[in-house]
Amino acid sequence: MFKNYIKITWRSLVKNKTFTILNIVGLSVAIAVAILLSMAGFFDLSYDQFHANSKDIYKVYSMWQNPKGPQVSVSHSAPLMPTIKDEVPGIDKATRHLQQEAVLTYGDKEINMDAIWVDADFFNMFTFPAIAGKLNNPLEKQSDIVITEDAAKSLFGNEEAIGKTVQILINGKDEPFTIGTVVENNPSQSTLEFEIAVRFEKEADYLESQDNWSARYHDVYVQLAKNVAPGQFNLATRSLVENNFQERIENAKRDGAQPDVDGLFYKFELLPLLNEHFATFKNGYVEVSRGNTYLVLGVAFLILFIACVNFVNMSIARSGLRLKEIGMRKTLGAKRKQLFLQFWTESLIVFLFSISIGLLISILLLDEFKTIFRTEVSFELILSPLSILLFLFSILLITLIVGGYPALLMSKLGTIQSLKGKIDTSGKNKVRDALMVLQFGIAILMITGTLVLHSQLDFMRNKDLGFNKEQVLSFPLDGKKNSYEALELLRNELAGNPDIIEISGADNNLGYGKDGSVSSSMFGFEYKNRVINTNYLTVDYDYVETLDLELVAGRNFSREFASDRSGAVINEAMAKEFGEKDPLTAYISFSDSLRFPIIGVVKDYHFENLDKVIAPITMMMSRDYDLYYAYVKVAPVHLAKSYDAVEKTWAKISPNSKFLGSYLDENINRTFRKEEQITTMITSGSILAIALSCIGLFAISLLIVNQRTKEIGVRKVIGASVTNITFLLTKDFLKLVGISFLIAAPIAWWFMKEWLKNYPFKINLSPLFFIVAGLLATVIALFTVGSKTIKAAKQNPVKSLRTE
């Protein structure tokens, strides 16, 4: 029996090869894209799950109240972790975590590596498997370090790394460390990244900060004991807060801050490690959102859904061509069950073909997909036994629903009606029309999303950030040489180059440079009996001129005034914090006897990402802190030539350092990676959704034209024009697109409005976006249907009337 089903199925598919090919092409492409997008989504959702203790590890963050409302931070003081471990019950393990670059020296090699400064518990909490050396407690000794496999190869080549001694530059001096353990390279889904791990006690500022509760500069992770709820942590740390943050709480009360719902002014909370990749800290709260990931999975589902709708619609439309076959088979004794299995077998074979082709396409496109979307996805994510079983179950369910529904409709047809070839199709047409409305509604929704996302991305790229991003080159000041000395050498070497206009430096980059590092520093100080918080930036001479920042009051740092090293330049947002009519009368207070006067005010500029409002910032020239980035302003011509000149000069100054220079506009563009990724995915999904919708629309219009061939001939004989006939055949389809627009537009407006709330600087949600999306869908639908209907309308009516 089953062999007979296969034989009849094959004949039917070959006989209707146009529809078979359209179905297989649509489903194959949809399945391939759905697999790739699903891998990207599941890759994102799998962040940090490789740690054996991932469900018990939490990141500590603090929340406090100030007159402007709640504030949140993950930066903590050095004594916090030991105090938590000693005084707070339910803590199994804990570690501090500070990520910085470190200069390693081995023989003639000098390499900058990503380093983390952590406590002994770190490798007992987090799972970074050791492949050589100590397997348990690898950081037990302060003189030992842990290094990754790739970092070991960079330093030692094929030599054995264990037991080797390397020098790490700390506070301007080389200190010896022994390679005690080599671990596997960081997994792609790891929030914590490093090349070497060093004990926190060896960190440059540790000795000065170990008892200082005011210096906050690192993260803290804790692992809770079994059966300890994270909600208990806040209660358990309240006595710690009272003992160590009382002055801060009193200052908040004095300044007019209001307590939170629990009546507290300062508290500690826990963020699950599995949420860290999806967490943002803004507006005084921690927001955990997997929205972008679910959006990717949603796009995958919608594309597959549209392809399935096409299949259902074409199967329903084709049922009218198989009425006599159904009637004949029923006359010969076929039962409903047998007819259902026959038609469902056809659907199953089409799906199996499509899945095979879709898998092949996804394998062939995997590398391009990884490049375009900057992801490290692999088929390993979906090759687990559970994933395979879930995939097979999903395919079975889809074929039962998508293939089973048309099969059920055709198997229910009456014998006499089928043989006559005349049945009531109004019910089926309603289902078909509803599915087409849903299909085009999804397409319009995705087109609208594409238009809005592209506009927002262009808005952010072209927004005036308040500084010169096209002509300024930045790069890290790596190497052992003192950063101020290196910068001065750079000035001297490039002094005769007419393309080099200004050179300066700072302790932070603008945007994301090629080193991928980004950081910020904040501090608070007393000013006229209230606390003011500000971002802090260490700069060198000519910083304002190099970036073309606009001075609105006072002056810039000048070499003519030695006192400027004890002065500060602030932005307008910081000037407002002082509340003075003349901000140049204000000062930064480090103590009653140490005050830095404000010598200048610059116009607000975007020193952080565009998803944040412009915050107060204070620039100072303290030589107590190093510079980490050089800024070189070049002439607007010969940008590539200027880049080469700076690169060659830096190689001469610091021959062992890798030059990682990039222009600031490149840095800024890197901050939009998330938006670019989502925009690319939605754009690709929109194009595919329209293409799939058009495939279904074309196939259905082909069937309808074939069914109405005789009607077309009669109308032409009685005088109908080509235009009249074309309008008659297309108006029903256009009506469905219009209904789709009316349904999709309000939904798209709501989604886009909610998405734009994430950006303080955003475009206006103009009705033009929705109108253009609707018109685009209409034109595409008209073109798809019109290509066939015009041809049918031009056909010789004599030929049409002979058609039965």
pLDDT digits (tens, 9 = 90+) for 369-409: 888 777 787 777 666 676 677 777 777 777 777 666 666 66
Residue count of the chain: 804
8 A C-beta contact, residue 302 and residue 293: no
**pLDDT score, position 97:** 95
Please list, in sequence order, all residues whose beta carbon lies within 8 angstroms of the beta carbon of residue 539, skipping any fewer than 6 positions away: 504, 505, 506, 507, 557, 619, 620, 621, 627
Q: Which amino acid is located at 371 in the chain?
A: T
CA pair distance 671, 613, nearest whole angstrom: 15
What residue spans of 88-237 are helical by DSSP H? 122-125, 149-156, 206-209, 231-236
CA pair distance 661, 644, nearest whole angstrom: 10
**pLDDT score, position 481:** 82
| Paired strand residues for 147 | 182, 196
Please list, in sequence order, all residues whose beta carbon lies within 8 angstroms of the beta carbon of residue 128, skipping any fewer than 6 positions away: 146, 183, 184, 186
User: CA 364 → CA 23, 197, 653, distances in Å?
Assistant: 21, 38, 46
CA pair distance 406, 351, nearest whole angstrom: 14
**pLDDT score, position 117:** 95
User: CA 425 → CA 16, 317, 319, 320, distances in Å?
Assistant: 21, 9, 10, 8
CA pair distance 308, 403, nearest whole angstrom: 9
8 A C-beta contact, residue 432 and residue 700: yes
CA pair distance 536, 229, nearest whole angstrom: 37
CA pair distance 303, 407, nearest whole angstrom: 23
Look-up of token digits 């300044």: 255
**pLDDT score, position 602:** 96
Closest listed residue to residue 284, CA positions, set 66, 75, 80: 66
**Residue 356, phi then psi, degrees to nearest 5:** -60, -45
Strand-pair category, 144-148 with 173-183: parallel
8 A C-beta contact, residue 303 and residue 26: no
> With b meaning 16 or more CB within 10 Å and e meaning fewer, what string describes 532-545?
bebbbbbbbbbbbb
What residue spans of 159-245 are helical by DSSP H? 206-209, 231-236, 238-244
Residue 208 token pair = 């000065």
Where do the DSSP E strands lie in 259-302?
266-272, 279-282, 285-288
CA pair distance 739, 430, nearest whole angstrom: 14
User: CA 365 → CA 295, 477, 678, distances in Å?
Assistant: 21, 39, 19
Q: How many CB atoms lie within 10 A of CB 280?
A: 13
Residue 86 token pair = 């000693």
CA pair distance 338, 604, nearest whole angstrom: 75
CA pair distance 415, 417, nearest whole angstrom: 6
**pLDDT score, position 83:** 94
What residue spans of 555-672 are helical by DSSP H? 572-578, 639-653, 664-670
Q: How many CB atoms lie within 10 A of CB 497?
A: 15
| Paired strand residues for 116 | 99, 197
CA pair distance 525, 594, nearest whole angstrom: 11
Percent of the chain with pLDDT over 70: 85
8 A C-beta contact, residue 195 and residue 113: yes
**pLDDT score, position 769:** 92
**pLDDT score, position 329:** 62
Please list, in sequence order, all residues whose beta carbon lies within 8 angstroms of the beta carbon of residue 3, skipping any fewer than 6 positions away: none
| Paired strand residues for 535 | 522, 617
**pLDDT score, position 425:** 47
**pLDDT score, position 426:** 46
8 A C-beta contact, residue 659 and residue 651: yes
SS3 for 280?
strand
Strand-pair category, 568-571 with 595-602: parallel
CA pair distance 795, 804, nearest whole angstrom: 16
8 A C-beta contact, residue 622 and residue 569: no
8 A C-beta contact, residue 359 and residue 32: yes
The number of angstroms, rounded, from the C-alpha of 685 to the middle of its chain's C-alpha atoms is 16
User: CA 738 → CA 417, 672, 731, distances in Å?
Assistant: 34, 35, 10
Closest listed residue to residue 352, CA positions, set 715, 13, 791: 13
- The number of helix segments (H) and strand segments (E) in the chain equals 27, 25
User: CA 119 → CA 50, 54, 162, 230, 353, distances in Å?
Assistant: 21, 18, 20, 22, 55
Q: What is the mean pLDDT of each run of 10 residues along the chain (804 residues)?
A: 61 69 85 87 89 95 88 91 93 94 87 92 95 90 94 91 92 90 93 94 89 88 91 90 89 88 92 92 81 86 84 68 60 64 75 87 87 77 70 74 65 55 53 79 88 91 91 88 90 92 93 80 83 90 95 92 89 93 90 85 92 90 87 92 94 87 91 83 82 76 65 68 70 83 92 86 90 87 72 61 53
User: CA 726, 727, 732: angle at the middle one, nearest 5?
Assistant: 115
Residue 101 token pair = 């670059």
pLDDT tens digits, one per residue of 25-78:
888 988 898 888 888 888 888 899 999 999 999 999 999 898 888 888 898 999
**pLDDT score, position 374:** 75
